[in-house]
A = this chain, B = another copy of it.
């Protein structure tokens, strides 16, 4: 068989085919028997099993291969067993790394993709291969041996740190932190009125265990103190190695106080879930600002500078800000709103999926919840009747220290449901400051489609 032939078998109606190595299998009859659920098996339909099995160690057991062998229908043709040819060298994105096939791609160039909701809450830490990717520009190819991080010290002195120096000179610090794109759940805003931006579903959020040098330690080493170097507001500005066609790099900034705070735990990270950073996530060094919008966690970090103003970058000045619903592209004044730093309280339902038909009996509803600024989620309320009545869900995951709730809570609610019912499932979270999510999308609509954190709604029917 060719890979193209295999790719035509993606649904039970067309039969479900997958490959493993050079072998082809028809697993249609196994779909319903899959211990992880039929949905998850179908993510691999028409393609290779290996990227999925790599995520879940449970598959690397002899009986799984044995079980698979029962469904074998043939072999791939010899020429198709090889990798696809590399892209056109005139394309600035030609050097982008390979990606996991399960990712839902919102834009290919630059690459922007999110994990499918069914996989998002499978594990507290998101596997690196599934971590949502938000690139603004082509992925730079960095040779780790010649990488240098430039840090502008006070009085015009500057440091240049190699990767080895960054690892050796500063204590290694670990933080479990969730990153969320300001545009997560933007597609719900576009249903009210079209907005400008990538049509993210609920997956522009992921969690990892990050390790690196604390930005605080690097700033102190460069000669800064606990206080800003002058009066007024000071900022720490970052630039990436990713550049647009004119040579302008991606950039962003955070307030000096957060950068230098021991409690805020801002990292210059070189590890993600125990591995070196993947290329899509900033290899070899990125910023990780816990509790703050992802846009400030600059990837492929080239330079760090302290300044009396925010980063002049487009993405700091004229993007990633919220506005009143009445502001449109003719009337918007980007100076009138502050750059988003801490994000508001958020939650979403990952299972079941909108429009699903679920069996009568006990229904399990799953999702995530998170808030900015380290304000850990203290409660998630779930309604099956569109918000009339509510029950508190069970919160899973690690319980954080007060004020250091950098990571999401995964939650679950089990409830009996009657055959034939139509459910309007809704969730809303409460954070440590008792902030809650707004009921509806319309009144928080904004022209950039950011900060979409209204109650998440999932209509389902219960089969008879």
Contacts and interface: CB of A to CB of B under 8 A. Distances in A.
Given A402-B233, A436-B444, A391 B326 contact: yes
A370 B383 CA distance: 29
A129 to B, nearest CB: 31
Contact of A432 (B326, B342, B375, B440): B342
Contact of A438 (B341, B403, B437): B437
A209 B397 CA distance: 43
A342 B381 contact: no
Contacts of A23: none
Given A373-B373, A439-B439, 11 more contacts: A322-B430, A324-B391, A338-B432, A340-B434, A343-B434, A344-B433, A381-B443, A428-B443, A434-B451, A437-B438, A439-B440
Copies of this chain, how many? 2
Interface of A: 233, 255, 257, 263, 322, 324-327, 337-338, 340-345, 372-373, 375, 378-379, 381, 383, 387-392, 401-403, 428, 430, 432-440, 442-444, 451
A291 to B, nearest CB: 9
B338 A378 contact: yes
- Chain A at the B interface: SS class: loop
Contact of A433 (B325, B373, B436, B438): B373
Contacts of A432: 338, 341-342
Contacts of A373: 373, 433
A181 B437 CA distance: 21
A436 B389 contact: no
A439 B438 contact: yes
Given A378-B338, A443-B381, A436 B344 contact: yes
